Amino acid sequence: MKRLPLLAALPLLCASVAYAAPLMSVGYFNGGGDVTAGPGGDINKLDVRQITHLNYSFGLVYNNEKDETNAALKDPAKLHQIWLSPKVASDLALIPQLRKQNPNLKVLLSVGGWGARGFSGAAATQESRAVFIRSAQEIVNKYGLDGIDLDWEFPVNGAWGLVESNPADRDNFTALLKELRDAFGQKKLVTIAVGANAESPKSWVDMKAIAPLLDYINLMTYDMAYGTQYFNANLYDSSAWPTVAEADKYSVDFVVNNYLAAGLKPQQMNLGIGFYGRVPKRAVEPGIDWSKPDAQNNPVTQPYFGPQEIGLFKSLGYDLTKDTYVKYNDIVSKLLNDPQKRFTGHWDDRAKVPWLSVKSADGKALFAISYENPRSVAIKADYIKEKGLAGAMFWEYGADDNNQLAKQLAESLGIQHK
């Protein structure tokens, strides 16, 4: 996706020229550690021939939020600046080596991520924004990067109270992006990632105001296996495994259409693909339909995992009382290739994604986890082309299994690699 200050300057301007410019594959790489993804990966193992853009994750923001647990981020002398861990800094110094694999590779530093603090404070005033932007410029210049990617995923909402937020976040985010674009000019990329939640383009982010300021927007069209939903990243609604509460009824197609309705153009967005799976929350928690009276005391679904299933996942290293994120490489090695064959593979032809079942104590097949595989990735690539989207984004490269998914995505999107 090219810069969007003037829509007339865009490639992919209309359906008739939908593929005048090559499609993108933006690969996030968790180099510095992430709350859900675990420790950072090895940058030397990346095959960047399969992607067009690398989003190195994450830089974090120095902040004074009371619940910040990283002592390094509490330095008051560096408030609102971007912090790089020693590993992130050393990895960024290796970017020239990566570019030898793919001379056309664009590399951005991603700042933020799930549970990352400091954005609300950094965006709050013109002075604090200037501090943040100067540090972004310094990092981009020091490491020869092609731009900056902001993963302030939940302005206004604050990730349901996990991080500090303010009703003014929406307008402050717009101001931050405008000033960031003014500082970087046209020669550097400025991008963001946005959440799948229906409220995001309605009340958390001013899509019409920010779209002209950005080169592209990455949709996080995954992490849907919450509430009464079974699937993590279903392309369409499943009929075999229906969602009970209407507010939980998410699909990739729903999210894309929701952003389109908010004024975002197809050629401004990359479709997010998760290289992982999730055990649905409804397997272990009561499902609540918050639209109904006295909702918390009247759950609409009951957990269906018992001690046997919970123990099975625990034996594999997954605590289902916490956010259960299973990388694709672990799905292949631990679940699909389980020597005891406790998991059975299935394909949902409505949802267009694979899923695994486990047998209950009484022999019933229970929905265990949904995920992506090469087949579902290829179908999502077809969807990208049908919708006229700019390309794909995926989280994250270190979760792939011998580059299976990244290679499939590159092949399906027509990305040339050697």
418: in domain = no
Q: What is the pLDDT of residues 19-70, one digit of tens each?
A: 446 899 999 999 975 555 567 789 999 999 999 999 999 999 999 999 999 9
Same domain, residue pair 263 and 311: no
Range of the domain at 90: 7-275+371-413
- The DSSP result for 71-93, as a single string, is GGGG-GGGTTSEE--HHHHHHHT
Gap between the Cα atoms of 321 and 14, Å rounded: 47
Same domain, residue pair 45 and 178: yes
pLDDT confidence bin for 376, thresholds 50/70/90? very high
Same domain, residue pair 155 and 288: no
1: in domain = no
Is the pTM value of this prediction over 0.85?
Answer: yes
Same domain, residue pair 73 and 179: yes
Final residue belonging to a domain, choices 351, 369, 387: 369
pLDDT at 416: 73
Same domain, residue pair 301 and 270: no
Same domain, residue pair 236 and 329: no
Same domain, residue pair 344 and 395: no
Same domain, residue pair 345 and 333: yes
Q: What is the pLDDT of residues 85-120, one digit of tens each?
A: 999 999 999 999 999 999 999 999 999 999 999 999
Same domain, residue pair 287 and 237: no
153: in domain = yes
Average pLDDT of the residues in 241-260? 97
Residue 342: which CATH number?
3.10.50.10
Q: Is the pLDDT of residue 333 over 80?
A: yes
Strand order across the 353-359 sheet: 325-327, 276-278, 365-370, 353-359, 343-348
pLDDT at 12: 35
Same domain, residue pair 266 and 300: no
How many domains, the chain?
A: 2
Q: What is the pLDDT of residues 201-232, one digit of tens each?
A: 999 999 999 999 999 999 999 999 999 999 99
**Which pair of structure tokens corresponds to residue 327?**
């990388």
150: in domain = yes
155: in domain = yes
Q: What is the pLDDT of residues 53-67, one digit of tens each?
A: 999 999 999 999 999
pLDDT at 14: 37
Same domain, residue pair 338 and 388: no
Q: What residues have CB less than 8 Å from 11, skipping those under 6 apart?
A: 1, 2, 17, 20, 21, 267
pLDDT at 4: 36
pLDDT at 8: 33
Q: Is the pLDDT of residue 139 over 80?
A: yes
143: in domain = yes
Q: Is the pLDDT of residue 9 over 60?
A: no
121: in domain = yes
Gap between the Cα atoms of 342 and 359, Å rounded: 7
Same domain, residue pair 255 and 342: no
Average pLDDT of the residues in 172-200? 97
2: in domain = no
Residue 90: which CATH number?
3.20.20.80
pLDDT at 323: 83
Residue 232 near residue 225 (C-beta atoms within 8 A) = yes
